[in-house]
Amino acid sequence: MPIGKPVSLILGLLFGVLLWFLTPVQFMALAAGLVAALTLVRRPIWGLLVFAFLATSIPYTTLELGIRTTVSEAVLGVTWVGVIWQSFIGNTRGFLQWRPTERALIWLMLFSAVPFVVGMLTIHAEGNGPVNWVRWLMNLSLLFLVPLLLRTDRDRDQLVIALLLGNLAMLLLSVFMFLKSRNAMSMIPILTALKYAHPEAVQDIFSANYQRMASPWVHPNLTGGVLVLFIPMALLYGWTRAGIRRALGLAVAILGCAGLLLSISRGAIVSLVLVLLWMTYKRVPYTGRILGLGVIFAVALVMFYPPLQERLMTIFSASNASTEVRFSEYSKFPDAMARYPLGIGFKVDPPVPDSGLVGISNLWLNYIYKIGIPGLLLFIAVTVLWWREVRPTGVITHITEQNALWLGCIAGVLAALLTGFFDHYFSFTFVLIGLFWLLMGLSLQQVRLHPVILGPVSVRKELQP
């Protein structure tokens, strides 16, 4: 008997039973979800594209699948199911190479099992440690999806477009709502409709400083973090393309700079300026002019937006409230290290409830807080190995379609790492770290695909008389 007949009978029986217990609307939603999931399993690259758009536009929209998770991470999970199936039938053989960066990341993922177990045994607080651990590992795994799924220039271009479209949608919504009301609280009904979890936390964040632009990333510093991650890519992508792609890239870059200033994320602003100065040092064409135009744009915005004036005037002031909190966190951090030498694991985020300790607003120290000093050393090893492979070894005198994505990803990841000295979000914040590792994977793939164009050989040739 052909296999199609029993499969059809089983599916017919299953849907009949479901229709008996579910309302027509629930049944249609379930059927549509199943069809979408099967489509993504068959074409996992579509899952990566959907993740890229959702993760940048509505990152924390949730759904209930026995456990509560974000829609973007659910799509990522289905994408991995598709990758495993494609691997089973032999369609991914040879695409993933275990080079030093990948091996170091695997060691980081394996070691994280130790603080996970320790945290489950020693941290007495409510929290779903196993789920949080798996979600963190899945976010890191995006570095491996790049070589497995992005096999052609067209695939990579589609991914960049999905990322930029998601950012554009997020920026249009955020900037429009903020300019309309000048109050971050106006975003709350929209996020409620999008089924954001913990509405009380959203309310607290927006009410704490309603004059900072709200966005689907909720916290203004998170908004600043994701913008500095993508502004360099958007600028260089739009710079080297034509038509609608050029308009898309430049729109995201310009709106991103406006959103960055309106979110008043000090660490993100400083990090982006430092990256632009580094690009100027590398003689990337026109970066000096871009930096100058950015300063003019920022001054104009500051002149017409007093809250931004107040925020920037206290950017390095020790009397600033957030600065005082950070100094307090640093002074108490040795106590946390002494109490949790292997970290607190994944059951809860710092600080542990009823411990008398505080959290830490630093990417690097947050690794120690969560998975101990060995975890931090492994993360540093991954970043050092990544940098050794992708770094420019000389001046960059030309920006082309071939090197724009490489340089944009490098600049974005560097900006994210620099924000780590001011905030902790790129360490264990779900979805955001997934985008971080995705860009790291893209930069590695670009330098491996175009070693002659991007590597030391081309630089030396350009420097020859």
Beta strands 62-65 and 67-70, pairing class: antiparallel
Tell me, yes or no, if the pTM score tops 0.75: yes
pLDDT of 18: 59
- Residue identified by tokens 């100058």 is 292
Predicted confidence at residue 238, as pLDDT, reads: 92
Nearest to 447 by CA among 147, 19, 90, 210: 147
136/98 Cα distance (integer angstroms) = 21
**Pairwise CA distance, residues 296 & 226, whole Å:** 23
Measured distance CA(417)–CA(411) in Å, rounded: 10
pLDDT computed for residue 104 by the predictor: 96
- pLDDT of amino acid 8: 59
Number of Cα atoms under 13 Å in the Cβ half of residue 289: 3
232 in Cβ contact with 411 (< 8 Å): yes
Cα–Cα distance between 420 and 326 in angstroms, integer?
13
The stretches in the chain having pLDDT less than 70 are: 1-36, 65, 93-94, 301-302, 304-321, 452-465
CB 138 within 8 A of CB 436: no
Structure token digits, residue 237: 């992508």
In angstroms, rounded to a whole number, what is the distance separating the alpha carbons of residues 369 and 339? 10
Tally of CB atoms within 10 A around 149: 23
Q: Which two tokens stand for residue 199?
A: 């509405």
Q: Which residue has the tokens 């913008």?
A: 227
